[in-house]
Amino acid sequence: MVANSTVANTQPKRLSIGIIGGGIGGVAFAVALSRDSQLDVQLFEAAPQFSEIGAGVSFGPNAVKAIQLLGLENAYQRIADSSPAPFEDVWFEWRRGSDDTYLTASLAPGVGQSSVHRADFLAAIVAHLPEGIAHFGKRCIDVKQDADSATASFDDGTHFTGDVIIGFDGIKSAVRPHVLPPEQYGEITPFWSGTYAYRGMIPTRELEAALEAKGSEKRLAWVPQMYLGKDRHILIFPVKQSQLVNVVAFITDRSIPNPKLSEGEAWVQAVSQAEMLDVFAGWSPACQAILGCIAEPTRWALHELPELARYQRDRVLIVGDAAHALVPHQGAGAGQALEDAYVLATLLVDASCHRHNVSDVLATFEQVRHARTCKVQRTSHEAGDVYEYAGVGIGSDEAKLIENLEKRFDWLWNHDPHDDVLSARKALGLDN
């Protein structure tokens, strides 16, 4: 028996894959690949351990489908929040921010507002990652490739060489300049969307009491809400098994095209409650109750990427936020990373994929994903305009606003990422 296992361990692997970045997408991708014993999978994370910044993350039906397809549904369902009956299908209720008037609801049947605390979800996925795959303190500083291999270099002086490098390394990706060389494509850097987001977490019972004190219904604390106004909106939804409420309050500068942050301004910083309250002065009783519970908000300058011409260069591919970082207005960013993870992993674990044709597989992945991910970027930005009475052809016309909000997510949510796999297999000449 020992002899056999020794022989098995010395067999060359079909494919060697280096993953740069250990966020939700990168780890889900690594878990999916690790189930194939013929793949050598190594994941490199810059931080000293797995960690996630931010608080709540929202998943639409398409993202939940990707989680199911990735074999992570049980891990997800153990920690996912959902609204109580009869509101279980509500993604958000939409209200006028000035006076709390109910406008409409966006419904995601069977899913609703499926959300988790980012760190909890990452930990749940990490539990499925076999020992020996993850390496920490590995900040990628350069990527190179030749006809036969790709190499990632790290700031501790070490290197990884494999058949492919997959950049799951976020909006500030170190892999991206290799895929899109600046001398050919210009400097591609994240740009400020013009929107600041004030964030905080509130114990649910505390928010219920604050809402009641303002004469508002306490159910607003546990059914996801979106409050709309000119150049501003506020969203809330429960996380941590409804023990906490995740709050994000947005303000957008539309006074000039392409606004810029002040030189040297940090993307994330602690600010006073007074600053946040001043931004929403005159808003409704419920909004005042919500923001009044956040004593120490943080303010995030929301950045995004332009739509990129390509995601792949021979043996190197960027995915997730490294390829298509977007603003959070459709709750779609993590979902796109998970769709990427499922589609790419499914193509790479196929026995027909090997080191000599893997560049073609990566190119086909880009071919089936590019238009969708670019559209998600574009429509996520547009969604912020709609919520803040700046939607083209909609503005503050509530009848048009309601019509848009009831239907605008259908194309995004009604997508099965397995269809992308089938399209890719067809393009590669494989049997469906």
Distance CA 80, CA 70 (A): 16
Q: How far is CA 237 from the centre of its chain?
A: 17
HSE-up of 305 (CA within 13 Å, CB side)? Answer: 26
Task: For residue 329, give both structure tokens.
Answer: 């207005």
Considering the candidates 199, 232, 299, 369, report the single residue annotated as catalytic: 199
Task: For residue 76, give both structure tokens.
Answer: 């997800």
232, burial (CB in 10 Å: exposed 0-12, middle 13-18, buried 19+): buried
Q: Is 232 a catalytic residue?
A: no
Distance CA 315, CA 363 (A): 9
Question: Which of 188, 121, 157, 184 minimizes the C-alpha distance to 322?
Answer: 188
Q: What are phi and psi of 144, to 5 degrees?
A: -135, 160
In angstroms, what CA-CA distances link 67 with 106, 115, 213, 299? 22, 12, 40, 30
Distance CA 352, CA 50 (A): 32
- Contact predicate 279/197, CB 8 Å: no
Question: Which of 85, 84, 76, 31 minimizes the C-alpha distance to 58?
Answer: 76
Distance CA 197, CA 402 (A): 24
The catalytic residue positions are 199
